[in-house]
Amino acid sequence: MAQVLEFKLPDLGEGLTEAEIVRWLVSVGDVVAVDQPVVEVETAKAMVEVPCPYGGVVTARYGEEGTELPVGAPLLTVAVGASAPAGESAPAAAAPAPDPVADSAPTPARDPAPSREGASGNVLVGYGTGAPVARRRRVRPPVNGARTAPSAVRGGGAAGAPGPVPGPVAVVSPLVRRLAREHGLDLRTLTGSGRDGLILRCDVERAIREGVTASQTEGATVATASTVGTASTPAGTSTAATASTTRSGATRVALRGVRGAVAEKLTRSRHEIPDATCWVDADATELLAARAAMNAAGGPKVSLIALFARICTAALARHPELNSTVDTAAREIVLLPEVHLGFAAQTDRGLVVPVVRDAHTRSAESLGAEFARLTEAGRSGALTPRELTGGTFTLNNYGVFGVDGSTPIINHPEAAMLGIGRIAAKPWVHQGELAVRQVVQLSLTFDHRVCDGGTAGGFLRYVADCVEQPAVLLRAL
């Protein structure tokens, strides 16, 4: 007899709380094998394929392509021990209809410890699945006779909102709580559409839209009663905010996926890091000549960004304060032993920052090859979460966009970022005479908590010296 098991969106690691369904790889009625990828999802870190730990017939899918699901929400159900009829797939009518809101689907039968024949262990995205492991789940005791979501927490009240409702607020995603807090919405006044009254993101967004509509209606009534033909702004709402809501023809783009992750990280950096920037112009003529000579000698071609990366690792060895992070809870600066070098790469899906692991141990040729591999993976959306996290210092080559300078935002929780402008022919005093030289502007944005201007200036000056006289770098090897 077939047993219907529910497969939920697994914890994808790195603190991710939700993912967007990009493409289903199976349909209702398909037969899937253990650890077969069943759906492609986009997280705030990367695009990944999620393997199913059960083998059997797919009986239901929860969520259409483009839907965002929180971690722990059902993805699909599989009839373990069943098989599709020969020559055809199992009829979709025999399975529950797919529902875009995962938590509103009926609860299938569950097996807390599936057998090895029909299932593997917990899913670990990017590494496959392994043997069955013990699963533990903390469940809160019932409150007033009602079931409560495992991750339920109490929501904060907003000024002017109705009084608190007894019992915890069923909210899984911290993003949902933050969205409600930013719009002054009391979660205790909402009724969740998820299982057990779980409040989902769509519930909060619906409440926000209803609140905006009510404010606009009230404002229109006041305008009509006071002055005919005069626009009225609802109380507590700025004119700019009202215009953005009512302007016809406006296009709204959701801040989610990679774009949302970048926005959140940059905002956090601005809020938490007291940054400062210093910059210097450097004559890169000799560096370009050295690169041309290296490439003319044969072997793998050395890119300019690889040379700057090699210079950075040498500079960080002299100024390790800039390869650190700040532990705010312990009020300590943590100096990191390895240099995991991030670099900004623009893709069709937005800005990504892949990380070259152990950059301090690599040659210029090895750095160049890794830059090329990660850039191509970023353009195709194939970067893994590990390749996008764990950086200790970032290199930002905005010169490829044809600009001379910038003040980059530090990639939180790192302590510094080096920006490289375009290399352009400019008049320059060389050996006491005016000459046309290839000049580049270098800028260093640093966390002023980890060092003062003397350290930052020393780092940047050493980088500039290596650019102007590549032989300086040889002394560091």
Give 60's Cβ-side CA count (13 Å radius).
25
Answer with the residue of higher pLDDT: 107 or 281.
Answer: 281
Cα separation, 335 vs 357, whole angstroms? 17
**Is the Cα torsion angle 96, 100, 104, 107 positive or negative in sign?**
positive
Asked if residue 413 and residue 291 are part of one domain, the reply reads yes
Q: Which domain holds residue 224?
A: 142-159+167-228
Mean pLDDT check: name the lowest of 78-87, 187-196, 357-366, 382-391. Answer: 78-87
- Residue whose tokens read 């005069």: 230
Q: How confident is the model at residue 278 (pLDDT cuts 50, 70, 90)?
A: very high
What is the domain-level CATH number for residue 217? 4.10.320.10
Q: Is residue 237 part of a domain?
A: no
Can you list the positions of beta strands (E) in 164-274?
none
Tally the residues of the chain. Answer: 477
Residue 280 covered by a domain:
yes
* Cα gap 66→202, rounded to integer Å: 13
Instruction: Find the CATH number of the domain harbouring 358.
Output: 3.30.559.10
Do the beta carbons of residue 49 and residue 110 sit within 8 Å?
Answer: no
- Please tell me the distance from the alpha carbon of residue 473 to that of residue 198, in angstroms, as a whole number: 59
d(CA 424, CA 441): 10
Residue linked to tokens 């790469």 = 345
CATH of the domain at 61: 2.40.50.100
Looking at the domain assignment, is residue 134 inside a domain? no
Tokens 């005016």 found at: 434
Q: For residues 388-399, give the mean pLDDT.
A: 92
> What is the residue-averaged pLDDT of the chain?
76
> Does some domain include residue 239?
no
pLDDT at 4 over 60: yes
> Do 63 and 93 belong to one domain?
yes
Q: Quick one: pLDDT at residue 247?
A: 63
How do strand 416-430 and strand 393-397 relate by DSSP bridges?
parallel
Specify if 240 maps to a domain.
Answer: no
Of 334, 295, 302, nearest to 414 by C-alpha is 334
Do 310 and 220 share a structural domain? no
Lowest mean pLDDT among 204-208, 353-357, 390-394, 446-450: 204-208
pLDDT tens string 29-77: 999 998 899 998 887 656 788 899 989 999 999 988 888 888 889 999 9
The answer to whether residues 105 and 150 belong to one domain is: no
Q: Quick one: pLDDT at residue 196?
A: 66
**Spatial contact of 86 and 424, defined as CB atoms under 8 Å apart:** no
Residues 119 and 173 in one domain: no
- Say whether pLDDT at 436 is over 60: yes
Residue-wise pLDDT for 310-324, tens only, equals 999 999 999 999 999
Whether 250 maps to a domain, the answer reads no
How many distinct structural domains can be found in the chain?
3
pLDDT in tens, 165-202: 444 556 546 667 777 877 888 887 888 877 667 787 78
Q: Are residues 109 and 149 in the same domain?
A: no
What angle is formed at CA 406 by the lines to CA 438 and CA 435, rounded to 5 degrees? 20
Same domain, 108 and 147: no
Please, which residues bridge with residue 333 across strands?
A: 326
DSSP 234: P
Are 119 and 197 in the same domain?
A: no
Residue 259 lies in a domain: no
pLDDT at residue 70, rounded to an integer: 87
Q: What is the pLDDT of residue 127?
A: 37
pLDDT value at position 424?
Answer: 96
Looking at the structure, tell me whether residues 408 and 434 fall in a common domain: yes
CA distances from 3 to 112, 119, 219, 322 (A): 12, 12, 57, 56
In this structure, the answer to whether residues 281 and 384 fall within a common structural domain is yes
Distance CA 99, CA 10 (A): 19
448 noted as active-site residue: yes
341 and 206, same structural domain? no
Backbone torsion region of residue 142, taken as left when φ is above 0, otherwise alpha when ψ lies between -120 and 50, otherwise beta: beta
Percent of the chain with pLDDT over 90: 39
State whether 347 and 401 are in the same domain. yes
Among 119-123, 126-130, 336-340, 442-446, the range scoring the smallest mean pLDDT is 126-130
pLDDT digits 0-9 by tens, 301-312: 899 999 999 999
Residue 233 pLDDT > 50: no
pTM listed for this prediction? 0.55
Is it the case that residue 222 has pLDDT exceeding 90?
Answer: no
In a domain, 265, yes or no: no
* Interacting residues of 163 by C-beta distance below 8 A, sequence separation 6+: none
pLDDT (0 to 100) of residue 38: 92
CA angle 334–335–336, rounded 5-degree value:
110
Question: What is the amino acid identity at position 78?
Answer: V
